[in-house]
């Protein structure tokens, strides 16, 4: 059953929303509300909406996560990187293409960990990061990811 924007706002305003439960109660008509909240000026609410989009049944909701990867707001980028683990492989690669070159180690770690079948372009970036990253953790994650993915 469709939710109102205000109902969804209230559910996401909890300190620790039950994302799985909320996502299970959504339908495709709620995607527009998720998108609106993902653009909200309240960064905490927006970041929660981005993560929720990654769990929504509507396949177009994943575009919210992909768009969030282009955000100028760090918290939104972190949310997109975290949400990436919930997306299909092709969508994961689209988010990774936008975030893997980010100069934020925490975002890079989330992105690398989220990948299950990196594209050829992402593998090239992983190889570069495995030697050039200023972070030993990122270098190791990239090396391990390249060893464990087809």
pLDDT at 72: 96
DSSP label of 84:
G
* pLDDT tens digits along 7-35: 999 999 999 999 999 999 999 999 999 99
Q: What residues of the chain score a pLDDT lower than 50?
A: none
pLDDT at 1: 63
Judged by DSSP in three states, 42 sits in coil
Cα 93 from chain centroid? 11
CA pair distance 60, 57, nearest whole angstrom: 9
Is 5-148 a CATH 2.130.10.10 domain? no
What ranges do the domains of the chain cover? 5-148
Contact predicate 82/110, CB 8 Å: yes
* Greatest distance between any 2 Cα atoms in the chain: 50
What does the buried/exposed string (b/e) look like for 122-139 if buried means 16 or more CB atoms within 10 Å of the residue's CB?
Answer: bbebbeebbeebeeeebe
The pTM score is 0.94
């Amino acid at each position: 059953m469709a939710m109102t924007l205000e109902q969804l706002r209230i559910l996401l305003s909890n300190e620790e929303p039950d994302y799985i439960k909320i996502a299970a109660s959504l339908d495709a008509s709620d995607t527009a509300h998720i998108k609106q909240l993902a653009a909200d000026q309240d960064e905490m609410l927006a970041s929660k909406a981005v993560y929720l989009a990654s769990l929504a049944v509507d396949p177009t909701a994943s575009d919210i996560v992909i768009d969030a990867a282009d955000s100028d707001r760090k918290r939104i980028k972190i949310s997109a990187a975290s949400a990436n683990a919930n997306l299909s492989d092709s969508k994961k690669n689209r988010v990774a293409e936008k975030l893997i070159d980010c100069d934020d180690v925490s975002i890079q770690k989330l992105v690398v960990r989220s990948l299950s079948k990196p594209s050829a372009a992402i593998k090239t970036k992983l190889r570069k990061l495995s030697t050039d990253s200023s972070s030993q953790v990122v270098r190791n994650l990239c090396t391990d990811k390249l060893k464990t993915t087809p």
